[in-house]
Structure 1
Amino acid sequence: MVQNYQNILVATDGSAQAQAAFDQAMALAQTYKAKLYVVQVVIPPYFTSRSETGGVILRDMINEAKANLAQLVDQAKADGFANIEAIQAEGSPRDIISKKLPEELNIDLIVLGATGRTTTEKLFLGSVSEYVTRHAKAQILIVR
């Protein structure tokens, strides 16, 4: 069965893989005349609530995510695509990308980069793309 996508979610973390996923998602959104949601999830540091430094680090992480999202929205608009919405979230990327946003936004397709930022993060957190592939109800596209 051929799918006609109406709502596409692409996750970003500022990495080169995420940029490739964004480019592919935007091309698909243009082809299908779909709405494109771009999300960046910030994982709050464990010590955020326990120290002033933790709060500063979290604020910096959120500001970096917002700047990255603004850059992607600007890129889309420069390419003539305006049906885009940026979402900055805090929490578990796995749950937000695979369950929360797809349910809230009626997502048809989730687009992810094959890998995230660092190998160390994957050791501690596991692969977000692997988790999303196993748990999301929407179709998944992994971009290498």
Structure 2
Amino acid sequence: MKRYQKILVGVDGSSQAREAFDRAVELAKQNEATLIIASILNSDRYVGMGMALGASYINKAAEVDMLGRLQDSGEVLVQQAKAAGIQNVILEVTKGNSKTALAEDLVTKYDADLVVIGATGTNVVERVLIGSNAHFIV
């Protein structure tokens, strides 16, 4: 039976992401796998519709603050995963497009063989306009 070695879980603070994190912890424990917790500051959400306006429109102080908050909440999850018995836990906090980060960039960077994310953290309008991360990854 194939065992997962590196499990990537995307978290964003939503209840769906919490459920995905809990499931990823279970799977990592069962497989004695490395757990990579990824939190991406999705620039598409705070710079109009995508990067069309350019990075110069981003308030850098706000960006640093948001990244710091993601780091802090991610470190709490790292401690929870370790308390659950996961030996190898990596925290990746970055900015960019969460879809490509979770489907391509971080999978390649960490050689992940499983990606776990919540069903959706978007509302109906966002899913119609930009699609969900889950749909994009699949």
Tell me if both proteins adopt one fold, taking TM over 0.5 as the criterion: yes
1:48-97 deviation per Cα after TM superposition (whole angstroms, max 9, x unaligned):
8435x711221121112111101101111222323111000110111110
Contact map agreement 1:94 1:128 (CA 8 A) in 2: yes
Once superposed, what is the RMSD of the aligned Cα atoms? 1.9
The residue aligned with 2:30 is 31
Q: Match for residue 62 of structure 1?
A: 67
Counterpart of 2:8 in 1: which secondary structure?
strand
SS of aligned partner of 2:24: helix
Q: Secondary structure at the match of 1:38?
A: strand
Q: Identity over the aligned pairs, expressed in percent? A: 31
Alignment match, 1:74:
79
Count of residues in correspondence between the two structures: 131
Q: Aligned with 1:40: secondary structure?
A: strand
Instruction: Give the TM-score normalised by structure 2.
Output: 0.84
User: For residues 26-52 of structure 1, what are the alpha-carbon distances to aligned partners after superposition, in whole Å with 9 as ceiling and x for unaligned?
Assistant: 11101100100000000233268435x
Q: Structure 2 counterpart of 1:41, which letter?
A: I
Q: Is the 8 A contact 2:10 2:102 kept in 1?
A: yes
65 and 48 in structure 1: CA distance in 2 versus 1, 3 angstrom threshold: farther
What code does the residue aligned with 2:134 have? S
Q: Does the alignment pair 1:92 with 2:100?
A: no
TM-score by length of 1: 0.81
Stretches of structure 2 that go unaligned for 5 or more consecutive residues are 48-52
Structure 1 unaligned spans of 5+: 134-144
Deviation of 1:119 (Å)? 4.8
Q: CA 1:125–1:29 in structure 2 vs 1: closer, same or farther (change >3 Å)?
A: same
Q: Give the structure 2 partner of residue 50 of structure 1.
A: 56
SS of the residue corresponding to residue 74 of structure 1 reads helix
